[in-house]
Amino acid sequence: KQEVTQIPAALSVPEGENLVLNCSFTDSAIYNLQWFRQDPGKGLTSLLLIQSSQREQTSGRLNASLDKSSGRSTLYIAASQPGDSATYLCAVRPGSGTYKYIFGTGTRLKVLA
């Protein structure tokens, strides 16, 4: 059974710091992995999608990597800003023919001005 874990659960950093959010999953057979951002009480905003054949994806100050064999993904945020404060969720789509995403519980990030 696929399980997704995100560590740390919460993180507080000063503005300008580079930071790494971690996501681990128990079954390496996945179709893809997607990172999302969620502001309090709001829906999910897609940040990056990594297909199982890819190692990383980049968008602006964000870089996501995928290591399927070790069951890990990281989201790197460069030069953090107060506007980056949100909960970041990682979701994997298992390769077992099911169509659902399995989510972690998220990392709640606070960037201090």
Helix (H, G, I), strand (E, B) or coil at 113: coil
**Nearest distance in Å: CB 23, other proteins:** 11
Interaction of residue 102 with other proteins, rule CB under 8 A:
yes
Determine which residue in the list 43, 60, 69, 83 makes contact with other proteins, applying CB under 8 A: 43
* CA separation for the pair 63, 78 (Å, rounded): 8
* CA separation for the pair 11, 21 (Å, rounded): 9
For residue 8, cis peptide bond before it (omega within 30 degrees of 0)? yes
Interaction of residue 40 with other proteins, rule CB under 8 A:
no
- Which residues sit at the interface with other proteins, rule CB under 8 A? 4, 31-32, 34, 36, 41-46, 49, 51, 89, 91, 93, 98-106
